[in-house]
């Protein structure tokens, strides 16, 4: 058990949103609609032959509703007179499956085919099975399928070539698809993109530019070329290409309004970034709490990103394998779940107009995980999973309501409350791993209601003493690594407090 000597008094963030400095509701959502409409205009002109464009890129921030934009573009493309068949792809199955479900519901099961790997068919969620036609053999793909979805591995293999031999070309008479849509485009390595580029004459990439670099750091077919970077996302190779057109989606749907300064700190080079949720649209109703748990969760419940630094802990096994710090986290989560809480939020129409307010008890959340406990290393996540298992059993929670994960594996996911160990906690210096732009961005942009980062004390001292370092490893464009000044700027968007504990936090043994 962890003892505490005092509860934190929180210092408010130094960077906030002033009245009138952001648009909300339909005013914010209109920006994304306008950006997607502009992209559709370029796509139409390209298909008509009046524009010379090979790639259309929709750059999104985390939680921008990019899947909604992609679905709209797929439906629009199928209405064009020069489109017979389109492809939809992404790097992982968990990215493809939800799209198959959504497009099947939108267009009809007979028109949407999920071309799956045989060894993963049993893993496909039932809603996707019900919405789309699911096949794993080339000869089972229906001739009338207007949308075919598969991972980039599936399309890039012999199965993709065989599919062309079976179905023949699309309307253009040369390619399998008239348009290829690539979801989570900034997580796809360039050599993976090269393997599927033959599929269509026009490629539409949609994705979050702030997540981790491509998920596939494996074989680099150009390993003899020192200028080629296998970790580079394929859109970065075409940023200045005259046959590439790009646009930013200027609004985000996921965060609370008080989290918007944090989102803007990550996407600093964007001209506009607004938030559909307005102040007061989301809140957390807390049960009876006391002590430092009451102070911590009371601050998180405001929707403002919250950082708590913990002092007085025993030394960790390693900076990022920290049982004493997880012991404090477990005690706070145990108090929160024991007291009970509810989530309040407004539901919105597709155009961002408020529809109705809903209240969900913490045990009843079903559309995404309630609490995600995130860490950077696998060993730390194993320890966090032990915490989750104990809390789930102790409070009789439904499986999956509280989950532990590495940050890398959690990108693309959404949860109500994030509790995460700051990547720099306990560090003695900034390095390529603990200072990765995408790792901190994913950590901070998953939550719809509350964000709590925890760390050992000393973050400010670390950033003050850290030597200057370049921000671009492996020659990759953009600020993929965060220098100390950027870390400090991000911390300015957090409410911050310090908890002093006794020395009995030597293991995550529960409350």
Distance from the Cα of residue 460 to its chain's centroid: 27
Judge if 198 and 312 occupy the same domain.
Answer: no
Task: Report yes or no on 13 lying in a domain.
Answer: no
Give the total number of structural domains in the chain: 2
Judge if 218 and 355 occupy the same domain.
Answer: no
| Burial grade of 437 (CB within 10 A; 0-12, 13-18, 19 or more) | buried
Judge if 43 and 103 occupy the same domain.
Answer: yes
- The CATH number of the domain holding residue 288 is 3.40.50
Whole-angstrom Cα distance, residue 186 to residue 182? 9
Judge if 158 and 44 occupy the same domain.
Answer: yes
Q: Under a CB-based contact definition with an 8 Å cutoff, are residues 8 and 296 in contact?
A: yes
Task: Report yes or no on 258 lying in a domain.
Answer: no
Q: Say if strands 282-286 and 341-348 run parallel, antiparallel, or are unpaired.
A: antiparallel
Judge if 189 and 302 occupy the same domain.
Answer: no
Q: In the listed set 214, 235, 252, which residue is the last one of a domain according to the structure?
A: 252
Judge if 199 and 54 occupy the same domain.
Answer: yes
- Residue 61, phi then psi, degrees to nearest 5: -90, 170
Place of tokens 């199955």: 93
Whole-angstrom Cα distance, residue 502 to residue 332? 15
H-type alpha helices, 267-395? 291-300, 323-339, 378-395
Which residue range(s) make up the domain with 158?
Answer: 25-252
Judge if 176 and 308 occupy the same domain.
Answer: no
Taking CA atoms, 267 is separated from 233, 244, 369, in Å, by 17, 21, 25
Task: Report yes or no on 264 lying in a domain.
Answer: no
Task: Report yes or no on 343 lying in a domain.
Answer: yes
Judge if 342 and 456 occupy the same domain.
Answer: yes
Judge if 215 and 305 occupy the same domain.
Answer: no
Structure tokens at 487: 């870390």
Q: In the listed set 233, 252, 271, which residue is the last one of a domain according to the structure?
A: 252
Per-residue pLDDT of the chain (511 residues; tens, 9 = 90+): 344 446 678 999 998 888 789 999 999 999 999 999 999 999 999 999 999 999 999 999 999 999 899 999 999 999 999 999 999 999 999 999 999 999 999 999 999 999 999 999 999 999 999 999 999 999 999 999 999 999 999 999 998 899 999 999 999 999 999 999 999 999 898 888 999 999 999 999 999 988 777 755 555 455 445 555 556 789 988 988 999 999 999 999 999 999 999 999 988 888 899 999 999 999 999 999 999 999 999 999 999 999 999 999 998 887 778 899 999 999 999 999 999 999 999 999 999 999 999 999 998 887 789 999 999 888 889 999 999 999 999 999 999 999 999 998 898 899 999 999 999 998 888 887 787 778 889 999 999 999 999 999 999 999 888 776 655 443 333 445 567 788 888 999 999 999 998 754 333 333 3
Beta carbons within 10 angstroms of residue 225's beta carbon: 9
| Burial grade of 49 (CB within 10 A; 0-12, 13-18, 19 or more) | exposed
Judge if 46 and 113 occupy the same domain.
Answer: yes
- The CATH number of the domain holding residue 220 is 3.40.50.300
Q: Which residues pair with 373 in a beta bridge?
A: 404, 419
Q: Which residues pair with 5 in a beta bridge?
A: none
Judge if 96 and 235 occupy the same domain.
Answer: yes
Task: Report yes or no on 511 lying in a domain.
Answer: no
Taking CA atoms, 340 is separated from 168, 343, 388, in Å, by 58, 11, 16
Judge if 236 and 331 occupy the same domain.
Answer: no
Place of tokens 């030394």: 315
- Whole-prediction pTM value? 0.89
Task: Report yes or no on 272 lying in a domain.
Answer: no
Task: Report yes or no on 383 lying in a domain.
Answer: yes
Whole-angstrom Cα distance, residue 240 to residue 262? 28
Whole-angstrom Cα distance, residue 349 to residue 239? 33
């Amino acid at each position: 058990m962890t003892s505490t000597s005092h509860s934190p008094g929180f210092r408010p963030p130094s960077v906030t949103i002033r009245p009138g400095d952001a648009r909300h509701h339909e005013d914010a959502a209109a920006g994304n609609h306008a950006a997607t409409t502009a992209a559709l205009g370029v796509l139409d002109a390209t298909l008509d032959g009046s524009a010379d464009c090979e790639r259309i890129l929709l750059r999104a921030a985390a939680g921008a509703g990019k899947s909604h934009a992609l679905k709209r573009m797929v439906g629009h493309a199928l209405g064009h007179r020069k489109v017979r068949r389109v492809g939809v792809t992404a790097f992982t199955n968990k990215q493809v499956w939800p799209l198959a479900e959504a497009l099947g519901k939108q267009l009809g099961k007979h028109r949407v085919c999920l071309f799956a790997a045989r060894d993963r068919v049993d893993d496909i969620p039932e809603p996707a099975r019900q919405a789309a036609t699911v096949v794993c053999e080339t000869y089972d793909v229906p001739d009338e399928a207007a949308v075919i979805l598969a991972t980039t591995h599936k399309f890039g293999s012999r199965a993709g070539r065989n599919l062309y031999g079976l179905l023949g070309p699309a309307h253009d008479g040369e390619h399998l698809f008239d348009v290829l849509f690539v979801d989570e485009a900034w997580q796809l390595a360039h050599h993976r993109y090269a393997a599927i580029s033959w599929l269509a004459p026009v490629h539409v990439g949609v994705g979050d530019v702030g997540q981790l670099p491509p998920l596939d750091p494996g074989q680099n077919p150009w390993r003899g070329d020192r200028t080629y970077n296998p970790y580079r996302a394929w859109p970065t190779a075409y940023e200045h290409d005259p046959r590439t057109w790009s646009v930013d989606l200027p609004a985000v749907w996921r965060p609370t309004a008080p989290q918007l300064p944090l989102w803007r700190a990550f996407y600093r080079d964007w001209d506009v970034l607004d938030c559909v949720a307005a102040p007061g649209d989301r809140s957390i109703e807390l049960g009876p709490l006391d002590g430092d748990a009451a102070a911590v969760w009371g601050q998180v419940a405001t929707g403002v990103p919250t950082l708590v630094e913990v002092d007085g802990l025993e030394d960790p096994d390693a900076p990022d394998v920290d049982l004493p710090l997880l012991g404090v986290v477990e005690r706070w989560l145990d108090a929160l779940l024991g007291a009970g809480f509810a989530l309040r939020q407004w539901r919105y129409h597709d155009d961002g107009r408020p529809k109705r307010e809903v209240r969900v008890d913490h045990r009843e959340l079903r559309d995404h995980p309630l609490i995600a406990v995130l860490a950077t290393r696998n060993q730390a996540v194993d320890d966090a999973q032990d915490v989750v298992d104990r809390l789930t059993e102790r409070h009789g929670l439904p499986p999956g309501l509280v989950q532990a994960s590495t940050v890398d594996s959690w990108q693309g996911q959404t949860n109500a409350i994030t509790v995460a160990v700051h990547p720099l906690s306990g560090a003695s210096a900034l390095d390529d791993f603990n200072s990765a732009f995408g790792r901190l961005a994913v950590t901070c942009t998953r939550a719809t209601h509350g964000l709590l980062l925890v760390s050992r004390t000393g973050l400010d001292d670390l950033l003050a003493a850290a030597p200057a370092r370049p921000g671009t490893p492996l020659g990759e464009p953009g600020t993929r690594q965060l220098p100390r000044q950027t870390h400090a700027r991000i911390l300015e968007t957090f409410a911050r407090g310090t908890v002093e504990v006794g020395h009995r936090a030597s293991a995550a043994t529960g409350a």
